[in-house]
Structure 1
Amino acid sequence: MDDGIDAEYRVIRDADGSNLVHLTAFGSSSRGSTRKSSQSLQFDRTTAAELLRIFLEADLVSDLAAASSAVADQPEPEQSVPDLAYVSEGSEESDSPNVGVTEGLVWGKLDDSGFERLLFDLFRRFPRYQNVEWLTHTRAPDRGRDLSAERVIVDDGGTTRTERVLIQAKHWKTKSVGPVDICTTLAPMPLWEPPVIRGLIIATSGRFTADAVALAEKHNNDGKLPYLELWPDSRLEALLANHPDLVSRHGLRRQ
Structure 2
Amino acid sequence: MSAPLTTDLSRAVSHYWDTRAEGYSRRTMDELDGSLNGEWAEKLASLLDLPEGARVADVGCGPGLFALLAARMGCRAAGCDASPEMLVRARENARRAGLDVDFVLADAADLPFEDGSLSAVLSRYVVWNLPDPREAFREWLRVLKPGGLIVYADGNHYRYLNDPDYARAYAMEPVPYGHADQFVLNVDTRPMERIARTLPLTSADRPGWDVETLLEMGLTDIIICHPQTTEVVNPETGAKRTIVKEFMIAARKALG
Q: Scaled by the length of structure 1, what TM-score is found?
A: 0.28
* Bigger CA radius of gyration: 1
